[in-house]
């Protein structure tokens, strides 16, 4: 009898469970060439008879992605509305099917000079790439609802790959996705802790992709072991950006169970290593640590969601063995230099909210400020689990039905570790006051030196030069002019230099009427700034790598 009641209860629950929201993505081919893609969504109407669809909208500093959608039609419901929302009116629970096409945002392959390709879907005659935010409308209030995805009708010669290629999806994950397709897409698989890594690539680079897949699996495995709570597949899409004269670009975007990477063909694997670590940490920071507000105010939390991510990217690279203590300290020193020499280093958090997507200098500020703040917080809680314990407590709080806001969750978790973080956040995040590190860190493994450094001054207008493809805005009183750089020279490539560090030689290959040559100079401005630098103890005591990696506390 008990079994009968149990079976009946299970059937009742199954019958009551809403049908998954289904997504089908198909190509629009014109004379065999891809010209657009079609999205078809199947769902049941909300119980009140009104379902609101949120269309692709703002992402990555680009507004109104919905403008690249064709006419939106619906069967089983009346559709109304304009802009970034559509309202579906139907009887409660009615089956509804929505259909629309998506046009390309790029008339040519995305180029290195543009940075991350966030204008929208890349729909080229012989290949396709997109983030889910550019393609998929989602029913409001159903981010946690079950969903399914399928590639439909793609040419047999094409290879498709996405982090949506597995069961158990939610509607929220549909939008937070990456997709790549083309006849020249290659997929490599590697075992990782708790699942399988798929690396889907299109293009060619000056490094071995099999070795790159091995390294990526090692980083992802180390980070999964650090957090100890994620299993399942992980998919990375990587495609080559078209070359731009004088530019060398790479970037990435974290996804819920994967990430998207973009890189010029001359990018080296070592340059992508930190990007791998950063983007994969986004699996936890901040999506599993607290909720962020929608809209521009989200940038006000980037000190944690991006800055802490940078700190933990370095920490887990050290833990993985891919970096040693020297690389770890060098990475933190580069951040300290970039922050100290930034012309906006003292800007309040409100400036970041206002200008994050409009000013490249402001865009970097929360990464730098948050990473240095993470270093200070880790030291303040040494002996009590460090910053690791605070983040683990935040993750545990997010497992409860009530999802806390990111900042409030951080403050509460820090309090449980014996730290009142509110004065620190008010001073260093809200007001923008510089973080001052104590004389030693990591139990004496690192000492902190106070030095004076000339500000970084490249001596010419790099943004204008990148757009023009020629050197522009050379300062006649600056170091570049003294080395021989002149307006009008064609900028062929950047050869050397470390962003923000005036101690490292900056050099460019240029061409003019006299031919090609390399011009090099120290990008040292006339103004000097005070900053702190980390110095490893010598000889390094045993256990320091573990202390810096967060394992010895």
| Residue 196 and residue 266 in one domain | yes
- Taking residues 505-530, report their average pLDDT: 92
CATH number for the domain spanning 251: value is 2.60.40.3650
The pLDDT confidence band at residue 9, using thresholds 50, 70 and 90, is very low
Number of domains in the chain: 3
The pLDDT confidence band at residue 316, using thresholds 50, 70 and 90, is very high
The pLDDT confidence band at residue 128, using thresholds 50, 70 and 90, is very high
Question: Model-level pTM?
Answer: 0.82
| Residue 98 and residue 235 in one domain | yes
What's the pLDDT tens digit per position in 289-309? 999 998 889 999 999 999 999
The pLDDT value given to residue 271: 82
**Residue 530 in domain:** no
Cβ neighbours, 10 Å, residue 148: 16
CATH number for the domain spanning 343: value is 1.10.390
| Residue 371 and residue 496 in one domain | no
In degrees and rounded to multiples of 5, residue 189 shows phi and psi of -120, 145
- Three-state DSSP class for residue 255: strand
**Residue 252 in domain:** yes
Distance CA 473, CA 149 (A): 50
The pLDDT value given to residue 449: 97
Q: Omega of the bond prior to 286 within 30 degrees of 0, cis?
A: yes
Strand order in the sheet with 515-521: 490-496, 506-512, 515-521
The pLDDT value given to residue 28: 98
Do the strands 524-536 and 250-255 form a parallel or antiparallel pair, or are they unpaired? unpaired
| Residue 90 and residue 188 in one domain | yes
- Taking residues 407-420, report their average pLDDT: 98
The pLDDT value given to residue 267: 87
- Taking residues 35-54, report their average pLDDT: 97
| Residue 365 and residue 472 in one domain | no
- The residue that leads in pLDDT, 503 or 312, is 312
**Residue 229 in domain:** yes
The pLDDT confidence band at residue 6, using thresholds 50, 70 and 90, is very low
The pLDDT confidence band at residue 13, using thresholds 50, 70 and 90, is very low
Distance CA 107, CA 410 (A): 44
| Residue 399 and residue 328 in one domain | yes
| 300 strand-pairing partners | none
Average the pLDDT over each of 133-137, 500-504, 538-542 and give the range with the smallest value. Answer: 500-504
Mean pLDDT of the chain: 92
The pLDDT confidence band at residue 3, using thresholds 50, 70 and 90, is very low
In degrees and rounded to multiples of 5, residue 369 shows phi and psi of -60, -45
Burial of 88 (0-12, 13-18, 19+ CB in 10 A): buried
Q: What percent of the chain has a predicted confidence (pLDDT) above 70?
A: 96
| Residue 26 and residue 149 in one domain | yes
| Residue 472 and residue 360 in one domain | no
Say yes or no to pLDDT of 124 above 90. Answer: yes
- Taking residues 44-61, report their average pLDDT: 95
| Residue 135 and residue 166 in one domain | yes
**Residue 131 in domain:** yes
The pLDDT value given to residue 493: 79
- Taking residues 86-104, report their average pLDDT: 98
Say yes or no to pLDDT of 185 above 80. Answer: yes
Distance CA 82, CA 435 (A): 47
Closest CA to 88 of 28, 21, 147, 37: 21
**Residue 168 in domain:** yes
Average the pLDDT over each of 114-118, 255-259, 267-271 and give the range with the smallest value. Answer: 267-271
| Residue 113 and residue 212 in one domain | yes
The pLDDT value given to residue 553: 58
In degrees and rounded to multiples of 5, residue 196 shows phi and psi of -130, 135
- Tell me how far apart the terminal alpha carbons of the chain are, to the nearest angstrom: 55
- Taking residues 423-448, report their average pLDDT: 97
The pLDDT value given to residue 5: 46
8 A C-beta contact, residue 55 and residue 86: yes
What's the pLDDT tens digit per position in 19-32? 999 999 999 999 99
The pLDDT value given to residue 295: 84
| Residue 241 and residue 385 in one domain | no
What's the pLDDT tens digit per position in 345-397? 999 999 999 999 889 899 999 999 999 999 999 999 999 999 999 999 999 99
Average the pLDDT over each of 80-89, 279-288, 401-410 and give the range with the smallest value. Answer: 279-288
8 A C-beta contact, residue 164 and residue 238: no
**Residue 399 in domain:** yes
Distance CA 221, CA 194 (A): 8
The pLDDT value given to residue 468: 82
8 A C-beta contact, residue 168 and residue 205: no
The pLDDT confidence band at residue 246, using thresholds 50, 70 and 90, is low
Closest CA to 153 of 29, 31, 21: 29
Distance CA 372, CA 375 (A): 5
What's the pLDDT tens digit per position in 130-178? 999 999 999 999 999 999 999 999 999 999 999 999 999 999 999 999 9
DSSP conformational letter for 44: E
The pLDDT value given to residue 11: 44
| Residue 405 and residue 464 in one domain | no
Q: Which domain holds residue 372?
A: 296-438
The pLDDT value given to residue 15: 45
Using CA atoms, how far residue 124 sits from 36, 104, 105, 106, in Å, is 8, 8, 10, 8
The pLDDT confidence band at residue 273, using thresholds 50, 70 and 90, is confident
């Amino acid at each position: 009898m008990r079994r009968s009641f149990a079976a009946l209860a299970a059937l009742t629950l199954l019958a009551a469970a809403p049908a998954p929201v289904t997504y089908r993505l198909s190509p629009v081919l014109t004379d065999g060439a891809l010209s657009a893609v079609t999205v078809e969504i199947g769902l049941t109407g909300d119980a009140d008879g009104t379902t609101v669809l949120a269309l692709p909208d703002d992402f990555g500093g680009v507004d109104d992605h919905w403008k690249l959608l064709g006419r939106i039609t619906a069967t089983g419901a009346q559709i109304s509305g304009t802009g970034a929302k559509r309202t579906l009116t139907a009887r409660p629970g009615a089956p509804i099917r929505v259909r629309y096409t998506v046009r390309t945002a790029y008339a040519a392959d995305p180029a290195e000079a543009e940075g991350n390709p966030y204008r929208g879907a890349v729909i080229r005659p012989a290949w396709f790439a997109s983030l889910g935010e550019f393609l998929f409308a989602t029913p409001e209030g159903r981010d946690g609802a079950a969903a399914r995805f399928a590639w439909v009708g793609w040419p047999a010669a094409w290879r498709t790959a996405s982090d949506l290629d597995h069961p158990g999806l939610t509607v929220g994950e549909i939008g937070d996705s990456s997709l790549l397709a083309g006849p020249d897409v290659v997929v490599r698989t590697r075992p990782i802790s708790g699942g399988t890594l798929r690396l889907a690539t299109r293009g060619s680079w000056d490094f071995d992709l099999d070795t790159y897949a091995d390294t990526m699996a090692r980083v992802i495995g180390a980070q999964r072991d650090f957090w100890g709570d994620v299993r399942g597949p992980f998919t990375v899409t990587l495609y080559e950006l078209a070359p731009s004269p004088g530019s060398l670009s790479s970037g990435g975007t974290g996804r819920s169970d994967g990430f998207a990477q973009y890189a010029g063909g001359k990018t080296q694997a070592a340059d992508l290593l930190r990007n791998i670590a950063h983007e994969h940490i986004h699996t936890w920071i901040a999506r599993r640590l607290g909720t962020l507000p929608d809209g521009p105010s989200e940038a006000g939390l980037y000190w944690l969601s991006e800055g802490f991510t940078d700190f933990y990217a370095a920490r887990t690279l050290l833990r993985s063995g891919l970096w040693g203590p020297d690389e770890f300290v060098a990475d933190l020193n580069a951040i300290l230099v970039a922050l100290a020499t930034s012309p906006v280093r003292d800007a309040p958090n409100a400036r970041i909210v206002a200008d994050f997507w409009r000013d490249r200098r402001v865009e970097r500020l929360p990464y730098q400020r948050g990473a240095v703040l993470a270093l200070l917080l880790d030291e303040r809680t040494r002996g009590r689990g460090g910053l690791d314990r605070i983040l683990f407590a935040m993750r545990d709080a997010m497992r409860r039905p009530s999802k806390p806001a990111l900042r409030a969750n951080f403050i509460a978790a820090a309090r449980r570790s014996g730290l009142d973080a509110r004065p620190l956040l008010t001073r260093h995040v809200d007001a923008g006051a510089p973080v001052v590190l104590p004389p030693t860190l990591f139990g004496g493994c690192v000492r902190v030196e106070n030095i004076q450094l000339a500000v970084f001054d490249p001596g010419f207008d790099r943004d204008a030069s990148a757009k023009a493809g020629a050197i522009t805005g050379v300062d006649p009183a600056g170091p570049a002019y003294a080395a021989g750089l002149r307006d009008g020279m064609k900028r062929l490539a950047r050869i050397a230099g470390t962003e923000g560090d005036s101690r490292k030689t900056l050099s460019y290959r240029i061409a003019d009427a006299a031919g090609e040559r390399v011009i090099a100079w120290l990008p040292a401005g006339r103004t000097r700034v005070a900053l702190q630098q980390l110095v490893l103890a010598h000889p390094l005591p045993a256990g320091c790598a573990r202390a810096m990696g967060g394992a010895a506390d």
